[in-house]
Every structure is written in structure tokens, then in C-alpha cells.
Amino acid sequence: MREVVVTGGGTGIGYAIAAAFAARGDHVTITGRREHVLKEAAGRIGAAYAAFNAASPVAVQEALGLLPSRVDVLVNNAGGNTNLDRRQSADLMDVAEAWWANLNANLMSAVLVTTALAPRLGDGGRVVSIGSIAARGTGSGSYGAAKAALESWTADLAAELGPRGITANVVSPGLVLDTEFFRGRLTEDGIRARVDNTRNGRAGTVSDVADTVLFLAGPGAGHVTGQVLHVNGGAYLGR
């Protein structure tokens, strides 16, 4: 039985990933900031949970006792576009805080949790981080920049962990509807425009992303590392 940790595992893509691992018989620990959400999600799939802010070095350090002593698969899913919760402002302090928020949520959360758990990763382990099509010049400002930085960091991580047979990759979704990402603000026109950019004429699902993570975490992906796997129906062609 593998030990799997999924950050941001209480809802959406993270929950789907955690549920997929649990269905395969792995022991899963989900993390997030909202304990009541985690408790309910963990109960549904038979997982353990640990509530903490993955972007806080203090919180991550304090949470280590709640996480498995051995980790076979780490999925860095915590994040989201924090700009959706902020008003636009030209004040330089507001601009700086907005950028820090997205960098903390989407880059530093992965860096901190991975660094903290790296000594616990077994040889042949897997690290998979969830990126975004926004990293490839499709907009979203500081959110896209944070996801682009996540890709760059993953390339270095693959080199650092590679001698131990540990792989590190990014799964980069396009539009996925069954999540809290857009906070209910995405219009039908917005959906249609994004779907029109795909080659297969549909939005992505949380299962599309979870299945790709399962592949990267499996034995058949041992020679796939430092890569970005795009799961967007061809809206962005990774070539």
C-alpha cells in the first residue's frame, strides 16, 4: 500500500485525485485550510486529513507530525487564482500583495510542502504538481506567472530528486468546470469561448486530470520526469 499526500484535497481536482488513489487501495492523506471540508471529504473516501496552510512555513513545519512518516506520492494541488478574491487596484502596495498572494498560494505551497517531505519520499517516489494553461501566455497575470514559476521549479526538482529514482512533473489543466476555481463567475459565453479553443470540443473534467496524475504516479512513468503534461483538449499544444 502506497502512502499518498494530496494538498488541497478537499474539493475539486484535488478531491478527485485523492479519491482515485483511494479507490486503488492506496492510503491517502488530504490537506487544506478548511478542516470541516477536509473531514467530510476524508470520510467519503476513507482518507486521513491534516488541516494547515501549505503556503506558511510555520504551519507546514507544525503539521509534519500529522503527515505520513513515509511518502510514496506527493501531489501538490493547493492553489488557485487569489486575484478572484481581490479588487483591482493601482496602489503599489495592493499590487505587491496581490502578486505575493498568488505566488504563495501556487508556488510556495508546493515548494514548502515538497521540501518538508523530501526526506520522507521513498526511492522511486513521485511528485506531481498541478499547473495551469495560464502558465503558457493565456493571461491571468500573477496567477499565470506563479504557475509558470511552478514549471521552472519542477525542472530543478526533477534534477535534484532524480538520482533517487524520484520523478517530478507538472499536470497542466485547461478549463475544468467541476471545481471552485471560478467562484461561480464564469459565464456561458466564457465557457463557450474556452471550449471553442479545444480540438475535441469539450471542457475538461476532474477525472481527466486525476487519470493523468495516476499515470505519472504509476510504474509505467518511471522515465517521465521534468515534464509538463497538458490536459486541455488541445487548447494549448505542448510542442
Q: Tell me the C-alpha distance between 51 and 153, whole Å.
A: 25
Q: Is 49 among the residues known to form the active site?
A: no
Question: From CA 236, how far away is CA 199, in angstroms rounded?
Answer: 9
| Amino acid in the structure at residue 38 | L
Type of residue numbered 26: D
Closest CA to 9 of 69, 88, 79, 97: 79
Listing from the earlier edge strand, what are the strands of the sheet with 71-76?
Answer: 48-51, 27-32, 3-7, 71-76, 121-130, 167-173, 228-231
Catalytic residue IDs: 143
